[in-house]
Structure 1
Amino acid sequence: MNNKAQKLHTFHIPVMGLSYTIDSPIKVAHYGISSVISIVDDELVEKMTAFYSKKFHQPYQEITQKIEDYRAKRITNYLNLVSDIVQKKFQDFKSDLCENKETLEQYINMLPNQSEIKKGLQNFWEDGYNLKNKVVEYLENHLSPGAIDVNIMTKVDKENFVKNEALPTMYNDAHAALRGFANSKLNSSIILSAGMNPRLYSYFEEFSDFFPDENNVLKKKIILKV
């Protein structure tokens, strides 16, 4: 039975300001811990893309303010980079769990006592790792990385201008952030906080990922923080 839908932990890391959790998924998602990124500040997002591209030896091309729709493109680019890094770290972590008994023991101690997955891993650890192929199969069927969720403060939806001429509403800050998330490869949730913004809410209709697919599955979900 595939139990990847079962959460590994009983907590998540909520959004903390604009920067405190901007890279939390890179640090903790491979352990199965979910966290929330604020995606309103595209300048910060671009700096983080440059930093982590260099750190993980990924190609990087700056998205400058001269590029059309640069806010949304910066956010999409960063979220895709975070997703790729998390997946790589998750695969490496699973390999380490299979090869290193000490790593497995440390991870078991991280999991809540009531976790069925913890009990399953404890059985392998106590059996002395004799059936490595069974360990690999168990990890594949039960472990998954934590969610890379995002947050938009709905009232932070400033109009933007080019040569003193207001751009269309879709280029407002929160609208651009939403578009950046919608166009990313993430399969996660967007958390809307800080008030009501009917124009922003109606903008969700423009993106297919917020609608169920042919299997009635949502790729991206909406959470209202009240």
Structure 2
Amino acid sequence: MNSLSPHSFHIPVMGLAFTIDSPIKVACYGINSAISIIEDNLIEVMRKYYYQQNNEPYEPIEKTEENYRSRRITDYLNLVNRSVQTKFEKLRASAFETGSEIVKYFELLPEESLLKQQYYRFTNSSNTEEKQELEQFLRSNLRPGAIEVNIMTKVDKNNLDAKGEIIPDGSDALGALKAYAESDLENSAVIFSAGLNPRLYNYLENFREFDATGWGVFKKRVIIKVSDY
């Protein structure tokens, strides 16, 4: 990839549990990955786990609370984003020495990456001033991998309120899309898979988060798996 962008890797969706926290493990190395966000019960379990791991106070979102599904998902995505940023900043600040996190980052880049070529210049240089300039350049051009989400479009049962009535726009897929749209993720995408769901696609119109912020620039994008479509 003839670019300074490190986002040369992508981990595909491989199931609910396998990818539920993939970004926390790999995004700091510039690797994109996707989380399936349909199963809110699993997400609530992971919310509790990572709040405890991060030494942050955990407050459960109970099923008796309004909009509990979308709130669980949104909060988990924000939690994952914070965790990734924390790990990434630690990596960015680490020393250029054998086995360090920042060295792993550059070793994972493809050989054709311009950023990796600059890294080779840095490691091979014997000029102190040049090395300092290259080190500053390398650290400033590091980017974490994107945190993306997957919604299986046909997993879209309607959900009922306490009175047994269907919650408007509260189905599984629509609730997951709302949760993603309201999260603080940027440089991200939602992947629609497992078939055609017209009401889900129409529901996108409700969220300005998918609008372009510039020519060809989006904070949140939409990816449709062509084979499923």
What is the TM-score when the length of structure 1 is the normalising length? 0.90
* Pairs within 5 Å for 1:123-162: 123-127=121-125, 130=128, 131-132=131-132, 134-140=134-140, 142-162=141-161
Amino acid at match of 1:208: R
Match of 2:198 in 1: 198
More deviation in 143-152 or 120-129? 120-129
* Contact 1:157–1:175, Cα closer than 8 Å, also in 2: yes
Cα distance per residue 1:164-190 (max 9 Å; x no partner): 623234111111100110000001100
Q: CA deviation at 1:7?
A: 3.5
Count of residues paired in the alignment: 219
* Contact 2:9–2:30, Cα closer than 8 Å, also in 1: no
Q: CA deviation at 1:213?
A: 2.9
Cα distance per residue 1:137-178 (max 9 Å; x no partner): 3321x2110000000001111011234623234111111100
Aligned mate of 2:57, from 46, 56, 59:
59
Residue identity (%): 44
Partner of 2:112: helix, strand, or coil? coil
Unaligned runs of 5+ in 2: none
Deviating beyond 6 angstroms after TM superposition, the runs of 4 or more aligned structure 1 residues are none
Distance in 2, matches of 1:24 and 1:181, equals 17
Amino acid at match of 1:160: N
Amino acid at match of 1:61: E
More deviation in 35-44 or 99-108? 99-108
Q: CA deviation at 1:31?
A: 0.3
* Contact 1:153–1:192, Cα closer than 8 Å, also in 2: yes
* Contact 2:23–2:32, Cα closer than 8 Å, also in 1: yes
* Contact 1:169–1:175, Cα closer than 8 Å, also in 2: no
Match of 1:45 in 2: 43
* Contact 1:9–1:112, Cα closer than 8 Å, also in 2: no
Matched, 1:89 2:66: no
Distance in 1, matches of 2:34 and 2:180, equals 12
* Pairs within 5 Å for 1:10-49: 10-49=8-47
* CA distance 1:129–1:58, change in 2 (3 Å): farther
- Tell me how large the CA RMSD over aligned residues is: 1.9
